[in-house]
């Protein structure tokens, strides 16, 4: 969003219930002036303000996505900065990140500055870019991390490309420990993963597809935990998918290590059986695992071992999915379903409270990335999402704002209809 264009508009949200990560406030009004929350109280007078009637609606901090793919620059036929922003907005996200494995790769100061400028102009939500760990995300030579941090990156990562060389990874943890930024890692031992087409087990055998064993993930999880511990580095592990990974991370956390991790909605709602019939809509990396792994992911979310929930939005063309399973692309178009899927399967199902979900999708991501967001306080930036907790809706992927109009949840009934997303105090009507 272009700086300097925020108008001095006053927006009054009336009679809503505010949920944050640590409290619930009933029947409160929120007064927003320009891009800030200036007052939270009951019965704030309507002095000709623009008003949102939030009676029976829930107000939460805007969602923050720690793991998603914008695909622009380089792959804008899959998604552009504009369509990514619109899609995120409709999913209740007010801040998204940008993985660096683009073309050109985000591996130097000039690319970071270009991306920051372009996203401010073309994107409806805030974008916190990631700089690459290695040059061109090739896993060989360390990128210009210090200069990129000065240019505005929020963290360092090679996206969904796992660094295979343990010596390179050791040097990265040692070097990055001086910057205080999280090192975000995709964990995959490619010599074992068989391109991660599907989980290794009964379903892969039935379908006649070479599967990826859980060790393809857990070997790198353990390696990265040990290396990060050695240099006291801030490690964040993406899309945790296995019970064994949860167990390993839990063990290191109990020892006091400052590791954080995330999962995504498909890992706690779907299992490997969803791939039956060679269903390419559920081809993801890492692959969907067993029902026992799904249960372990939910348990990890409940006890706090898994810190955050990201969308893992990875859009592609419909042609890339409408093909043979072996040839199909990885990923799900998930900006617009991530919150409602999580709300339906975790909160409505009774596994988490809404406060816990807010912590995992807003407050904790903000703290990990040091964004100073994820709260509803006087003086805070007015990034909010308002939804109806009792209104169900059917997912219609053809109406997605993303270019990738497909989803394994297409046609499914979900709870929690998003009504408004407010970014920098600006109201965006999502559903009337």
Q: What is the pLDDT of residue 8?
A: 60
366 Cβ neighbours under 8 A, 6+ residues apart: 64, 95, 372, 373, 374, 375
Does a structural domain hold residue 72? yes
Average pLDDT over residues 99-104: 96
In the predicted model, is pLDDT for residue 6 greater than 80? no
Are residues 203 and 263 both part of a single domain?
A: yes
Does a structural domain hold residue 5? no
Model confidence at 194, in pLDDT bands (50, 70, 90)?
Answer: confident
| pLDDT greater at residue 292 or residue 46 | 292
In the predicted model, is pLDDT for residue 2 greater than 70? no
Query: pLDDT tens digits for 123-145?
Result: 999 999 999 999 999 999 999 99
Query: pLDDT tens digits for 298-355?
Result: 999 999 999 999 999 999 999 999 999 999 999 999 999 999 999 999 999 999 999 9
Choose the catalytic residue: 158, 312, 316, 383: 312
Are residues 47 and 120 both part of a single domain?
A: no
Are residues 176 and 278 both part of a single domain?
A: yes
Are residues 327 and 416 both part of a single domain?
A: no
- Rounded Cα–Cα distance for residues 299 and 160 (Å): 25
Average pLDDT over residues 46-65: 95
Are residues 305 and 165 both part of a single domain?
A: yes
Q: What is the pLDDT of residue 48?
A: 85
Q: What is the pLDDT of residue 7?
A: 52
Does a structural domain hold residue 345? yes
pTM score of the predicted model: 0.96
Are residues 117 and 255 both part of a single domain?
A: yes
Are residues 256 and 318 both part of a single domain?
A: yes
Are residues 345 and 330 both part of a single domain?
A: yes
Residue 346: closest CA among 281, 412, 297, 274: 297
Does a structural domain hold residue 66? yes
Average pLDDT over residues 238-257: 97
Average pLDDT over residues 262-270: 98
Residue 389: closest CA among 339, 427, 336: 339
Are residues 32 and 122 both part of a single domain?
A: no
Backbone angles phi, psi at 3, to 5 degrees: -70, 150
Are residues 353 and 319 both part of a single domain?
A: yes
Does a structural domain hold residue 212? yes
Query: pLDDT tens digits for 211-230?
Result: 999 999 999 999 999 999 99
Are residues 338 and 350 both part of a single domain?
A: yes
Model confidence at 47, in pLDDT bands (50, 70, 90)?
Answer: confident
Model confidence at 1, in pLDDT bands (50, 70, 90)?
Answer: very low
Are residues 305 and 392 both part of a single domain?
A: no
CATH number at residue 391: 2.30.40.10
Boundary (domain end) residue, out of 348, 369, 390:
369
Q: Which residue segment(s) compose the domain that 351 sits in?
A: 60-369
The yes-or-no answer on residue 293 being catalytic is: no
Does a structural domain hold residue 3? no
Does a structural domain hold residue 229? yes
Q: How many helices (H) and strands (E) does the chain have?
A: 13, 16
Model confidence at 197, in pLDDT bands (50, 70, 90)?
Answer: confident
Average pLDDT over residues 381-398: 98
Angle between helices 243-254 and 215-231 (to 10 degrees): 20
Long-range contacts of 42-51 (CB under 8 A, 24+ apart): 44/12, 44/14, 46/12, 46/14, 49/10, 49/11, 49/12, 50/9, 50/10, 50/11, 50/12, 50/427, 51/11, 51/12, 51/13, 51/14
Q: What rounded mean pLDDT belongs to the chain?
A: 96
Does a structural domain hold residue 1? no
Q: Considering its fold, how many domains does the chain have in total?
A: 2
Q: What is the pLDDT of residue 125?
A: 98
375 φψ region: left (φ > 0), alpha (ψ -120 to 50), beta (else): beta
- Rounded Cα–Cα distance for residues 354 and 410 (Å): 24
Residue 235: closest CA among 189, 284, 186, 190: 186
């Amino acid at each position: 969003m272009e700086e300097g264009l925020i108008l001095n508009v006053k927006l009054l949200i009336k009679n809503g219930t505010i949920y944050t990560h640590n409290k619930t406030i009933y029947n409160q009004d929120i007064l927003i002036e320009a891009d800030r929350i200036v007052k939270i109280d009951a019965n704030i007078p309507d002095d000709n303000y623009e008003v949102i009637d939030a009676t029976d609606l829930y107000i939460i901090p805007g969602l923050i996505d720690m793991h998603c793919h914008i695909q622009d620059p380089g792959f804008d036929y899959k998604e552009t900065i504009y369509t990514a922003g619109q899609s995120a907005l409709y999913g209740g996200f007010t801040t998204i990140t940008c993985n660096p494995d683009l073309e050109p790769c985000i591996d130097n100061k000039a690319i970071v500055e270009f991306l920051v400028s372009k996203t401010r102009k073309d994107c409806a939500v805030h974008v916190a870019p990631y700089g690459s760990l290695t040059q061109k995300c090739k896993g060989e030579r360390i990128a210009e991390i210090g200069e990129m941090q000065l240019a505005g990156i929020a963290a360092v990562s090679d996206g969904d490309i796992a660094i295979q060389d343990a010596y390179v990874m050791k040097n990265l943890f040692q070097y990055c420990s001086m910057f205080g930024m999280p090192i975000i890692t995709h964990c995959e031992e490619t010599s074992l993963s068989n391109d991660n087409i599907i989980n290794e087990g009964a379903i892969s055998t039935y379908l006649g597809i070479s599967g990826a064993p859980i060790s393809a993930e857990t070997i790198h999880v353990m390696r990265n935990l040990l290396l990060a511990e050695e240099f006291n580095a801030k490690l964040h592990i993406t899309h945790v998918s296995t019970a064994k990974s949860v167990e390993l991370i839990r063990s290191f956390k109990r020892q006091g290590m400052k590791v954080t991790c995330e999962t995504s909605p498909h890992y706690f709602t779907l299992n490997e059986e969803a791939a039956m019939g060679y269903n390419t809509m559920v081809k993801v990396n890492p692959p969907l695992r067993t029902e026992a792994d799904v249960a372990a992911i939910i348990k990890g979310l409940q006890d706090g071992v898994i810190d955050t929930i990201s969308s893992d939005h990875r859009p592609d063309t419909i042609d890339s999915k409408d093909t043979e399973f072996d040839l199909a692309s990885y990923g799900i178009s998930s900006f617009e379903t991530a919150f409602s899927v999580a709300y339906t399967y975790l909160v409505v199902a009774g596994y988490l409270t809404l406060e816990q979900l807010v912590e995992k999708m807003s407050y904790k991501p903000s703290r990990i990335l040091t964004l100073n967001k994820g709260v509803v306080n006087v003086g805070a930036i007015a990034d909010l999402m308002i939804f109806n907790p009792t209104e169900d809706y059917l997912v219609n992927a053809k109406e997605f704002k993303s270019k990738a109009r497909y989803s394994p949840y297409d046609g499914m009934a979900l709870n929690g209809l998003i009504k408004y997303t407010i970014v920098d105090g600006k109201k965006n009507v999502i559903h009337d």
